[in-house]
Amino acid sequence: MTDKERPRAHLVLADGTVLEGEAFGAPGTAIGEAVFSTPATGYEESITDPSFFGQMLVLTSPEIGNVGITQEDAESRDGAPKIRALVTRSLSPVPSNYRSRESLDAYLARHGVVGITGVDTRRLTHHLRSHGSQSCAVGTDPVETLLRAAKEAPSMEGANLLPFVTPKAAYPFAETRGEWGNGPAPGSRPKVAVLDYGTKKNILRHLVEIGCDLTVLPAGSSAEEVLALNPDGVFLTNGPGDPAAATEAIATVRGLLGKKPLYGICLGHQLLGLALGARTFKLKFGHRGVNQPVLDVRTGRVEITAQNHGFCVDTATLPPEAVLTHRHLNDGTLEGFEVPSLRAASVQFHPEAAAGPHDSTGFFGRFLAAMRTPASDGSTKTTAS
């Protein structure tokens, strides 16, 4: 479809803000929370990140679609997009990438995802920064219809979205990044149970590459089911929604505390905090992009990180035994903590960085070291292959 053939569409926020554009991707109307993300590259990874489930992704980079779609770069388990809608300033009509197998337009249409292009994304981003992320509707319906749909859309607060993104059954994972990464590390191969809350594939690939044997479990798995695998460590992945609403997952994490080395990323970090008795709160517009500055308070080193989250653990509510390890330099919010007595640690950002910088990949090495360190009772928790 050429630009001249694209039907007129609108994006309407719940507060009544209306922006015009042109429809692409699948026909129809999409409803969800409008959020913006700032990466200059990596739109393929962003639209397939399950952490964006239920959201309307506004990309601040003006030119989107110029590298097409390469299935190997998808972050979701099934390779499908997880966003409700994609909002762009300019949609590249022709992909220029020898690895591309499909245009972004055709890919979204095939998966039933609505798109709108020609939107003043600078204005929209400024509005969301000032007024906060909020529900919106995108489509070719009359503005009045879209506004009503946006106002009636459920809030992200209180939304447990894990059932929509977690696998139905456990599965093994042994894939690496191939030409883009390394093979499995030599030495003993600890067994890791991964609780999949909507994981990005590159989290799993990094764990394989440091030498772990993975069993990936559904989010609804109980602590007893996890421990029955006798893993050397447990990993908590990223995922969408309000962490406080995922009560079943919180109970599982609470039941694992102190039993095995327990590390988490993003939603996994929030669930670990909640399991320890802390509280979470919704950020005004979240942290999304690949240029988020984080301070490692232990070393004084600043890391540029990839992030995608709208909720945060309240530092003041963490228990005394929790040690703050990372802090966001833009707003001072909590980005990481550890509980040495429980061999537990987590970070809010994405050290696997797909897409993004690789400043923080050492987090996976620290998890491996935790599994290879004898527990306080003197036993060794790592199983050799």
What is the spatial distance between Cα 52 and Cα 35, in angstroms, rounded to a whole number?
Answer: 9
* Element housing 73 (H / E): none
Closest-CA residue to 353 (of 319, 310, 304): 304
Q: Are the C-beta atoms of residues 210 and 278 closer than 8 Å to each other?
A: no
Q: Which residues 6+ apart lie within 8 Å of 125 measured at CB?
A: 36, 58, 60
Q: Are the C-beta atoms of residues 159 and 242 closer than 8 Å to each other?
A: yes
Residue 350 bears catalytic tag: yes
- For the four alpha carbons of 323, 328, 334 and 335, in that order, the dihedral sign comes to negative
Strands 114-117, 191-196: pairing is unpaired
Residue where the block lists tokens 């537990």: 344
Radius of gyration of the chain (CA): 21
Q: Are the C-beta atoms of residues 202 and 235 closer than 8 Å to each other?
A: no
Alpha carbon of residue 14 to chain centroid? 24
Residue 287 bears catalytic tag: no
Catalytic residue (one of 269, 326, 328, 350):
350
- Residues 14, 10, 284, CA angle at the centre, nearest 5°? 35
Catalytic residue (one of 206, 266, 287, 328):
266
Residue 20 bears catalytic tag: no
Closest-CA residue to 158 (of 338, 14, 33): 33
Please state, as a whole number, how many other Cβ atoms lie within 10 Å of the Cβ of residue 145. Answer: 15
- As annotated, the active-site residues are 266, 350, 352
